Amino acid sequence: MASTDSPNRPFTLTGRQPLNVVLRPGSPAEAAFRTAALEPGFEPAHELDLQYLGGKTLPQLGFRLVYLGRWSAADRRALDASLPAAMSDPGLNDVVAQYFPGQTVRSTFTGSTARRDAVSTRVDKPEVESLVRHLGPADGAVTGLLLPRGVVLVDGDVTSERGLAGYHGSLHVSGRTLYYAVAVYSEGTNGIVAFDEPWKNVCATLYHELQEVRTDPDVEDAIRARRSPDATHFLGWYSPRGGEIADIPIAEADGQLGLVMKEVPLAAGGTAPVQLLWSNRVGGPEGPATTS
């Protein structure tokens, strides 16, 4: 293969060792050669690292998508392809795997459905929980609710018109726990806009929320327990000084969304729009692992 380097410019490895092996993508052998790197624009901040506080975690995560109201077929196709691809990508999952030593990190997409009933122009938490309760369990899969264009998401005094893009939570119904995540259709001044197409903003938001369901699914129980001594026992991986795995990077980006919301290459080919997650091993946001 012809070199693209100038003949007068010395070849450099930029801190990486030469690679003289062939590796199966996603294999333990490939993982041994991966290079973890702090994303450009950040300094290590290990004081914000996640701690395991004893609560439930979900290394094997199933999820379904429910499109509410009117959605374009193109947006649905893009999300149905990109979000599952990102959630199952070996490089991205390598970042999450550090929190599940000795366990397999796996995601299963159980499919999507559309509910074309009219949706309120403002959807609050009681309405979200009512929808989740009505949809019921889906073989243990987390329910991802996608609000249509123009609908405002409300959580107490906070709204998507003021920067709320989504959240995750849980309900206890008839002895079962129903986990869910909800995302607003982020465009204009509604939600968080970081990409050139709204569906990409939705994809990054749901990636954020689903990874938090995986690492800290019962945070809603901790919130309900409030100041009870048992409240923190519901928490899984959580930073007492920063929050959940996806909250810390976006807070540390300090408004520079492009530092953490990126279209990243996938092992299977193509790219997906995601929000980078916090990595204890680098003390900051880490992109998908690459080989040395």
Strands 166-173 and 142-146: unpaired
Note every long-range contact of 116-122, with CB atoms under 8 Å and residues 24 or more positions apart, other chains counting: 116/69, 116/70, 117/68, 117/69, 118/69, 119/68, 119/69, 119/147, 119/148, 119/151, 120/151, 121/150, 121/151, 121/152, 122/151, 122/152, 122/154, 122/159
Q: Could you confirm whether domain 57-234 is CATH 3.40.390? A: yes
pTM equals: 0.88
- Strand order, beta sheet including 158-159: 122-123, 152-155, 158-159
- Dihedrals phi, psi of 167, to nearest 5 degrees: -160, 170
Distance CA 81, CA 37 (A): 27
Helix (H, G, I), strand (E, B) or coil at 227: coil
pLDDT digit string (tens) for the chain, length 292 residues: 433 333 333 333 333 344 445 555 445 554 554 568 899 999 999 999 999 999 999 999 999 999 999 999 999 999 999 999 999 999 999 999 999 999 999 999 999 999 998 899 999 999 999 999 999 887 789 999 999 999 999 999 999 999 999 999 999 999 999 999 999 999 999 999 999 999 999 999 999 999 999 999 999 999 999 888 888 999 999 999 999 999 999 999 999 999 999 999 999 999 999 999 999 999 999 988 654 4
Single-letter amino acid, residue 58: L
Distance CA 187, CA 56 (A): 34
CA angle 192, 190, 250 (to 5 degrees): 15
User: Closest by alpha carbon to 144, among 120, 178, 174?
Assistant: 178
Q: Return the pLDDT at 137.
A: 84
Single-letter amino acid, residue 260: V
**Residue 219: C-alpha distances to residues 32, 110, 170, 234 (Å):** 33, 24, 8, 6
Distance CA 243, CA 237 (A): 9
Kindly report the length of the chain: 292
Q: What's the token pair of residue 173?
A: 């119904």
DSSP 39: P
Contacts (Cβ under 8 Å, ≥6 apart) of 252: 42, 45, 48, 242, 260, 284, 285
Q: What's the token pair of residue 125?
A: 């938490």
Distance CA 213, CA 179 (A): 8
Q: Return the pLDDT at 21.
A: 52
